[in-house]
Amino acid sequence: MSSKLYVGNLPYETNEDDLQALFGEIGAVETVTVMRDRETGRARGFGFVEMASDEDAQRAIAQLNEKPFGGRSLTVNEARPQQPRSGGFGGGGGGRGGDRGGERGGPRRRTEPRW
């Protein structure tokens, strides 16, 4: 059984080979993913490492959490399942328009003054 770890506070220059080497010193590594910006391809400062066993994962947390790496202090802990995201454009109502009244079944606007 493998155990997935979250690795945060990575230097932006970090790549998969760097993490493979670092975690490989602790135990058997199955996969390494450095999260990247879709537009620029630049690393986002965090990633995930999947260790071959729970024992290797716990050892990696104990030895690497808060360890200096590339001038930063790493954050290493068990990865939590990804939370469901709300649909598009800023979450919620899609970010477009609103109730404009008129023919779409919304409230009708009054044509005369309210006073």
Condensed to tens digits (0 to 9), the pLDDT of residues 85-111 reads 777 665 555 555 555 555 555 566 667
Q: DSSP state, 95?
A: T
Task: Report domain extents, the chain.
Answer: 3-78
Q: 89 and 96 in contact (C-beta within 8 Å)?
A: yes
The pTM (predicted TM-score) of the whole model is 0.71
Q: What is the mean pLDDT of residues 69-83?
A: 92
- Joined together, the tokens standing for residue 32 give 């390494």
Q: What pLDDT sits at residue 49?
A: 97
- CA dihedral for 96, 99, 103, 104, sign (positive or negative): positive
The whole-angstrom separation of Cα 84 and Cα 106 is: 31
Assigned fold of 3-78? Alpha-Beta Plaits (3.30.70)
Give the pair of three-digit tokens for residue 40: 């620029």
Query: Over the stretch 38-73, which tens digit does the pLDDT of each residue have?
Result: 999 999 999 999 999 999 999 999 999 999 999 999
